[in-house]
Every structure is written in C-alpha cells, then in structure tokens.
Structure 1
Amino acid sequence: MGQVAFDTLKFVETLEKEGLPKNQAKAISLAVRESHEAVDVATKADIADVKRDIADVRKEIADVRKDLSAEIADVRKDLSAEIADVRKDMAARFEKNEAQIQARFEKTDAQIALVRKDVEHIANGLLLKLGGVIVVTISAATAILKFF
C-alpha cells in the first residue's frame, strides 16, 4: 500500500506562522508523520492493482471452468462408451447362458425320453412275464383241480 505524502517542513513552517514555538511545531510535525507512517492507506494505484488482480482471478476461474467442463464432457463420453461396452458384454453373456440353459433342457428332455422308453420296455417285459406267470398259474391250478 502507498503512503500519504506529508511535507513536514511545510507543516512546521505553518505552525510557526501561527505562533507555535519551533520545538513544539517540530514535535507535532514528527507525531503527525509517525501517525501517517503507521496508517496503511490504499492509493488509487493500489485499488487499481487489486481490481486488475480480481479481473485476472475471474479470468482464471472462467478458464478453469471451461477446462473443467471440457474434461467432464470427455469423462461422460468415456463413461458412456464404457457403459455401452458393459451392456454389450452382458447381453452376450446372457445369450450364452440362455443357450447353455436351452442345451441343458434339451439334453434333459432327451434323457427323460430315454428313461420313458426304458420304462415302457421294462413294463412290456413285465407284462409278458406276468402273462406267462398267470398262464402257468392257471395251468397249475387246472392240473391241481383235475387231480381232485
């Protein structure tokens, strides 16, 4: 910050003209000068510098926002591409799983058909054997009845 210009000699002369003794005028002049030195007063140039600094900071903020917006757009684009790839991969995996499940169902259906065929074959065999047992039983019963 700038200092306020203070002419101590002129001040002393003014006080002497008004009738103050020289040592009192010097003492007052020194006191006033010291008080001015202690006070930090902003000059127009200081204010202009601060305004320039604020304008620079605002420009930098605008540039950062612009860059950040571009980066966010890039990230969104990349993320959208990644999501699309994941969806594509998931769809392929679902199709593969569905095909595997369908193959398992078909295999199970084929095995069930074989089991049914085997059961039918066994049932036919049992029926024939049961028929034979019935014929033998009836024949044996008839033979036994003839003896009595």
Structure 2
Amino acid sequence: MSSLVFDTHKFIRRLREAGIEEKHAEAIVEAFQAAQSEMQPVTRDYFDVKLKSEIESAKSDLIKWVAGLLIAQAALVAALLKLFTH
C-alpha cells in the first residue's frame, strides 16, 4: 500500500502563517494524518470492473431501445401496408 508523505512541520508552519493557533494547527495535521492512514487506494482493477459494468449497462439499454424501435417500425410498416392495400 502506498502512502502520501508530507512534511508535517511545514504544514503546521503554513497553518500558523495563515493565522491558526499552534494547538489547532497541530490538531488539523493529526486529523489529516489519521484520515490519510484510513484511505483506501483506488486501483486500476477497480476502475476496470466499474467501467466494464457501465459498458454492460449501456449495451443492455441500447439493445432494449433498438428492439423497441424495430417493433415500432414493423408496426408502422404493417399499418401503412394495410392502409394502402385496402
């Protein structure tokens, strides 16, 4: 697992320069570090699975639309044939 490495002293110094009290700056840095340690990296496999799922969903929707349009077209042709043959 990879982790994000940053200079906590520099982070605290920047917060202090922005007007944040030292104890608050330290608490912010500690909270940031805790959140960072709980992060789950998003892998390429996750994106591949997600993308494949989206493609399958789009493919299914497209097939439904095309089938519906073919049925509607067949009904229209049948109606027109009936209208013009009588």
TM-score by length of 2: 0.51
3-state DSSP class of the match of 1:44? coil
| d(CA) in 2 for partners of 1:62, 1:69 | 11
Q: Which stretches in structure 1 are left out of the alignment for 5+ residues?
A: 6-26, 90-148
Aligned to 2:11: none
1:42 and 1:48, CA in 2 relative to 1: closer, same or farther beyond 3 A?
A: farther
| d(CA) in 1 for partners of 2:76, 2:40 | 51
Aligned to 1:84: 81
Q: CA deviation at 1:64?
A: 1.1
Structure whose alpha-carbon radius of gyration is higher? 1
CA RMSD of aligned residues (A): 3.4
Moved over 2 A (4+): 30-33, 47-51
The structure in which a higher percent of residues are helix is: 1
TM-score by length of 1: 0.33
Aligned to 1:53: 50
Per-residue CA deviations over 1:19-75 (Å, capped at 9, x if unaligned) read: xxxxxxxx95x653311327x956134x53344222211111011111211221111
Q: Which stretches in structure 2 are left out of the alignment for 5+ residues?
A: 5-24
